[in-house]
Amino acid sequence: MNSAPMFRKVALIGFGLIGGSIARGAKSLGLAGEIVTTARSESTRARVRELGIVDHVVESNAEAADGADLVILCIPVGACGDVAQEIAPHLKHGAIVSDVGSVKGAVVKAMAPYLPEDIHFVPAHPVAGTENSGPDSGFAELFINRWCILTPPEGTNAEATEKLAAFWRALGANVEIMTPEHHDLVLAVTSHLPHLIAYTIVSTAEELEGVTQSEVLKFSAGGFRDFTRIAASDPTMWRDVFLTNKDAVLEMLGEFQEDLSKLTRAIRRGDGDALFEHFTRTRAIRRGIVQIGQDEAAPDFGRRHKQLGKGAE
Ligand SMILES: NC(=O)c1ccc[n+]([C@@H]2O[C@H](COP(=O)([O-])OP(=O)(O)OC[C@H]3O[C@@H](n4cnc5c(N)ncnc54)[C@H](O)[C@@H]3O)[C@@H](O)[C@H]2O)c1
Ligand SMILES: O=C(O)C(=O)C[C@]1(C(=O)O)C=C[C@@H](O)C=C1
């Protein structure tokens, strides 16, 4: 059985992995009276119409935002400022405007100046994704048991923040609130740096002289294969992440390079104790993360999951 709609009209600007997943989840669970979306290219809009998930696919961002109670920008971080400027005159009084960008400080800085005072701006980042993009890549269960971080600017209406938090919880996410600056520092090490390492190592392997490309492909077992998955992530999205979270990423990269130098020295010196001690510590960290994941599994996970499954039938 579907829940009562939380919002009368939800506008999703951009219909890729994240926009498409929100649409599928919200549709299955009946979270919106009406879902309107738009995408930049006619071919994407045509594909979204064909998929038949949303109620209306419109031609422009302004048209999508017009009269919506909740507007979510599901587009690359670098495009958020321009789109905020474009939709601002069309926003309904009291509407909640949000985004899903992987970087928060730059998004707040780019969007806030354009949003009228009667709009509730509640930036968000669902920490859930895959290496795929585009209208066919989304799925309703993407956010189940994952975190969604909200970074409302100081003075944001608490009721609006709670309404958006409830929307994300309904999609299956666990919600946490923090400042954009803290978000960007944490995500620099947990998400942005790992992607940079994956992007680096895959091209390093490809450019090696003593090892052929076919050998790399043939013998890419577990570890390297995981890196190639991450390194297949969308170039536009990740270009924007590194351009807009420059300071935090550079800070974390500095720390990483120091630690890498320590391990390099241990290998060069044949210091087995240092290597063993290091790997023992990282194994404990991994086991701790897995345990936290199990402890924090939402108690009503099964129910939500079933509900999504039913709605999608
Ligand atoms: N992919 C992930 O794993 C992931 C996870 C969490 C958050 N995010 C964030 O979500 C956002 C969207 O990512 P995605 O993975 O859904 O991307 P995607 O490539 O699958 O979809 C992006 C959508 O944005 C539209 N778009 C692109 N440039 C635009 C522009 N200049 N103006 C208007 N629309 C534009 C595209 O037409 C498409 O509909 C990004 O900000 C990303 O940082 C991504
Ligand atoms: O699993 C993946 O493919 C992801 O990279 C998802 C991932 C992440 O780093 O965890 C990537 C970027 C987003 O901002 C959030 C989630």
182-295: which CATH architecture?
A: Orthogonal Bundle (1.10)
- CA–centroid distance, 288 to ligand 1, in Å, is 31
User: Which stretches of the chain score pLDDT less than 50?
Assistant: 1, 298-305, 309-313
pLDDT at residue number 206: 81
Residues in contact with ligand 1 (CB, 6 Å cut-off): 14-19, 39-40, 44, 74-77, 79, 83, 100-102, 125-126, 129-130, 133-134, 137, 234, 237
Question: For domain 8-178+299-311, which CATH number applies: 3.40.50.720, 3.30.2270.10, 3.30.70.560, 3.40.50.460?
Answer: 3.40.50.720
- CA–centroid distance, 73 to ligand 1, in Å, is 8
pLDDT at residue number 241: 98
pLDDT at residue number 232: 94
pLDDT at residue number 296: 67
Nearest residue CA, atom 8 of ligand 2?
191
Three-class SS of the chain? CCCCCCEEEEEEECCCHHHHHHHHHHHHHCCEEEEEEECCCHHHHHHHHHHCCCCEECCCHHHHHCCCCEEEECCCHHHHHHHHHHHHHHCCCCCEEEECCCCCHHHHHHHHHHCCCCCEECCEEEECCCCCCCCCCCCCCCCCCCEEEECCCCCCCHHHHHHHHHHHHHCCCEEEECCHHHHHHHHHHHHHHHHHHHHHHHHHHHHCCCCCHHHHHHCCCHHHHHHHHHHCCCHHHHHHHHHHCHHHHHHHHHHHHHHHHHHHHHHHHCCHHHHHHHHHHHHHHHHHHHHHHHHCCCCCHHHHHHHHHHHCC
ipTM of the shown complex: 0.98
Report domain extents, the chain. Answer: 8-178+299-311, 182-295
pTM for the whole structure: 0.92
Q: Which atom of ligand 2 has the smallest separation from the CA of 194?
A: 9
